A and B are shown apart, each in its own frame.
Chain A
Amino acid sequence: MSTLEQTASTGHHHGPAKGITRWLYTTNHKDIGTMYLIFSLVMFMVGGCMALTIRAELFQPGLQLIQPEFFNQMTTMHGLIMVFGAVMPAFVGLANWMVPMMVGAPDMALPRMNNWSFWILPFAFSMMLMTLFMEGGGPNFGWTFYAPLSTTYAPPSVTFFIFAVHMMGISSIMGAINIIATIFNLRAPGMTFMKMPLFVWTWLITAFLLIAVMPVLAGVVTMMLMDIHFGTSFFNAAGGGDPVLFQHVFWFFGHPEVYIMILPAFGIVSEIIPTFARKKLFGYTSMVYATSSIAILSFIVWAHHMFTVGMPLIGELFFMFTTMLIAVPTGVKVFNWIATMFRGSMTFETPMLFAVAFVVLFTIGGFSGLMLAIAPVDFQYHDTYFVVAHFHYVLVPGAIFSIMAATYYWLPKWTGNMYNESMGKLHFWLSFIGVNITFFPMHFIGLAGMPRRIPDYALQFADFNMVASVGAFLFGFAQLLFIYNIVCCARGGKKATDRVWEGSHGLEWTLPSPPPYHSFTQPPKVD
């Protein structure tokens, strides 16, 4: 058939090899997808422990558990690991599993590259985590690593951080190329672009975003590397450089990056809500256009992260207007999801619970985003806990909830077994309550004036910080249920049917549960 299938079939004609080599050498999209997902779960736990360290220190005013320099390393590593280690690999893992099955392909288009792009990650993150044990400590300049704190004033381990970022960048780019190639070239006959499931669509757009901005991130860390070791002055004012330039280049990457972490989530929710509302997705076409316009707009809003940096008035106005404009397509998406639920016949299994919570809590994050977009008011919000509340609302009950929803939604398909529904629901409710107790009070302390990234705070912020810390531990420990449920489901349980859900739709549900090692050896017919 295709080159990829030949590659796969020459080695293991009748399914996977045994033992460790299966995982080391595998070119199978399901194996690689599984590895991505497990890796991201591990990273989610590591990053989560760092978050709990932060929240434990912030439980009370005063320094109790850790010193400020370690606190800064924790905030930095928590951010980097959650963004690059947990959320992004989880979405790539989901894409690996689902995209070939959704477009009717036997495997990913470039299976060897697929193996590569996964196996880079454990090395990149081992290197990143190892910096914590080096002299001078790990990166302590925040996940946004603003120069000159991250160049002239950085600990020596910054070089390893830069190489780790390079490696994960290469991994992401290879993953993106693979996904684009699969979607462009391996769709089943009759599967036109406007018939593709929304998850595939949002991932296609995300992959293009990755190709566009990951090289810019690579560029900016390369410039840092040159500034630190080769005496250039990109960001050093002494040699004619400019620290603000760093922020411009970083956020030129950083803002699309934010959408890289949320667009696939939109796709997942757009798959799940119709299934459990037993009704076709409302406004498919406008969803596609809304996603594309969000992606395009994401390139011209970056400086809204820098309203206080001293931009001229015209710049402030431009970036304020473009940022506000993003609310329009985002609103369209939310309205579409609600219209899909409206007059449906809804049931609330765990995936649906997470998807509904996503819509509500992501929208709250959207509202605070709109407030932050208003430049004059942002002078008060900027770099406070209000911002922390905002982006955690879009990333935790946003991106992370969508990943959990996807896991519960497709887990029966992946393993062939049903997960434990009551445990899933318990996990949902604990997570939902935990997330809100953690992040909602952060709006208040932010407005009251608590800056972000501080290890100790004034007394008027004490009550809400305590509440937030309690919520964080609740949310953190609730995730043990998630792991337990997944492990049990992988080991056995009630057999799942092929369709799994009553309202399921799309090619992946026409395959048996679990699906065969090579998904569609004969391309399915799509009408």
Chain B
Amino acid sequence: MAEQTSSHRRLIIRLTLSCVLMFGFGFALVPLYDVFCQVTGLNGKVLNNGPLQETVVSDVNRRVKVQLIAVNNGGMPWGFRPSESSLEVHIGEMKQTAYVATNPTDRFMVAQAVPSVAPAEAAQYLRKVNCFCFDRQPLNAKEQREMPLLFVLDDELPVHIKTITLSYTLFDITPEDALAAASGSEEVQL
């Protein structure tokens, strides 16, 4: 009798623990997924991999076409476009370009650009040295700004990839940022 009670108890504790663990696992899937994306380039998700550390061997004979695309997410009234829609880039060459954003409204707004690369497998070879997508982008009413993008194509980029499309989707994050807006337009590190 007592034996059974304690074996019930042990079982319940173990099963409840596994439930809690699996609940945690559900959340652990979030960082796991990011790591997974970074390794495989899944979904063309570009993690903000920051300044380039290692040196890249440049190869002037290999040229890759880089297409730049701008997308506005729902309800985003800004003007947003690449200053050049297509670039020829050598492997290993540091390339500077820019996107132009205009806030046509008469209020202060903050935006976040989200990068994505197609084909997805190229994502990890597109190294961004400096990108406006690293930071939130505040623009005052009627303000226009050129936002810089500096990147390098890694020499390990698979040979069969001849065209890379880099897209930025601009999201309006003003409401969530109302406090920052009130205290001035300082740039907030994401």
Contact = CB atoms under 8 A, between A and B. Distances in A.
Direct contact of A and B (CB under 8 A): yes
Interface of A: 1-3, 109-110, 173, 176-177, 180-181, 184-186, 211-220, 223, 231, 234, 237-240, 242, 244-245, 248-249, 252-253, 309-312, 314-315
Given A177-B16, A237-B114, A242 B11 contact: no
A185 B43 contact: no
Nearest to A310: B43
B11 A211 contact: no
A242 B33 contact: yes
Nearest to B25: A216
Given A2-B4, A109-B8, A216-B26, A180 B19 contact: no
A341 B27 CA distance: 47
A3 B7 CA distance: 12
Contacts of B23: 215-216, 218-219
Contacts of A239: 112, 173, 176
A273 B190 CA distance: 62
A231 B23 CA distance: 21
Interface in B1-54: 1, 4-5, 7-8, 11-12, 15-16, 18-27, 29-30, 33, 37, 40-45
Interface residues of B, number: 40
Contact of B4 (A185, A214, A215, A234): A185
B121 interface: yes
A245 B11 contact: no
B26 A177 contact: no
B18 A211 contact: yes
B22 A237 contact: no
Interface string B87-115: 00000000000000000000000001010
A215 B22 contact: yes
Most buried by A among B23, B112, B172: B23
A240 to B, nearest CB: 7
A238 B42 CA distance: 18
A315 B40 contact: yes
Given A2-B1, A3-B4, A312-B40, A185 B33 contact: no
Contacts of B80: none
A231 B176 contact: yes
B30 A181 contact: no
Given A180-B11, A238-B73, A253-B26, 5 more contacts: A211-B18, A214-B22, A237-B171, A242-B33, A312-B40
Interface string B115-136: 0000011000000000000000
A354 B41 CA distance: 48
Contact of B27 (A180, A184, A219, A314): A219
A157 B93 CA distance: 52
Nearest to B3: A185
Contact of B30 (A180, A184, A245): A245
Nearest to A253: B26
B169 interface: yes
Most buried by A among B22, B169, B173: B22
Contacts of A181: 8, 11-12, 15
Contacts of B12: 110, 177, 181
Given A213-B22, A242-B43, A310-B43, A234 B30 contact: yes
Majority SS at the chain A contact face:
helix
6 contacts: A110-B8, A211-B19, A212-B22, A219-B25, A238-B172, A244-B43
B121 A312 contact: yes
B58 to A, nearest CB: 27
A3 B26 contact: no
Interface in B138-190: 169, 171-173, 176, 190
A251 B120 CA distance: 22
A252 B33 CA distance: 12
A114 B40 CA distance: 45
A213 B26 CA distance: 9
A311 B41 CA distance: 9
Contacts of A184: 7, 11
A219 B25 CA distance: 8
Contacts of B8: 3, 109-110, 181, 185
Given A218-B23, A238-B114, A249-B26, A312 B42 contact: yes
B7 A185 contact: yes
A310 B25 contact: no
Contacts of B42: 311-312, 315
Contacts of B169: 237
B173 A238 contact: yes
Q: List the 4 closest pairs (A to B, CB-CB), nearest first.
A: A219-B26, A238-B171, A215-B23, A215-B22
Contacts of B5: 2-3
Given A185-B11, A238-B73, A3 B43 contact: no
Contacts of A231: 176
A248 B19 contact: no
Contacts of B40: 312, 314-315
A181 B33 CA distance: 34
Nearest to B22: A215
A237 B169 CA distance: 9
Contacts of A217: 26
A295 to B, nearest CB: 15
Nearest to B116: A237
A248 B1 CA distance: 45
A231 B175 CA distance: 10
Contacts of A173: 19
B101 to A, nearest CB: 15
Nearest to B190: A240
Nearest to B121: A312
